Amino acid sequence: QVQLVESGGGLVQPGGSLTLSCAASGSILSINTMGWYRQAPGKQRELVARITSGGLTNYADSVKGRFTISRDNAKNTVYLQMNSLKPEDTAVYYCNLAVVRIDYWGQGTQVTVSS
């Protein structure tokens, strides 16, 4: 069974930074994609950024140039460095692990950007 454990959320002022981490454990194929999604109140869950096991990345247009996704394959861990945070980045952030046609999700971590 695969488990994803997120950490690093919290309250930050506009313009500030946060780093999210997500560690995956269990039976994980080496070829996979890990990523971050977010869901704000009253909105659908949306992709923030994702990265393949080979290091290919893609980002939502709204975070390009501000967020950076990275991963440590040896630790099955994905990171999201978030800079220049805006109030509209406020949401619950979910870690995702996609293996073949199966999606695994973390429990979510709250990120609040407010003065």
Residue-wise pLDDT for 30-88, tens only, equals 789 999 999 999 999 999 999 999 999 999 999 999 999 999 999 999 999 999 999 99
The pLDDT assigned to 31 comes to 82
Q: Is 68 exposed, middle or buried (0-12, 13-18, 19+ CB in 10 A)?
A: middle
Cβ(85)–Cβ(68) below 8 Å: no
The pLDDT assigned to 60 comes to 98
pLDDT one-digit tens code per residue, 7-22: 999 999 999 999 999 9
Tell me the residue type at 69: I
Mean pLDDT, range 79-103, rounded to an integer: 96
pLDDT category of residue 1 using cuts at 50, 70 and 90:
confident
Sign, CA dihedral 100-25-11-67, equals: negative
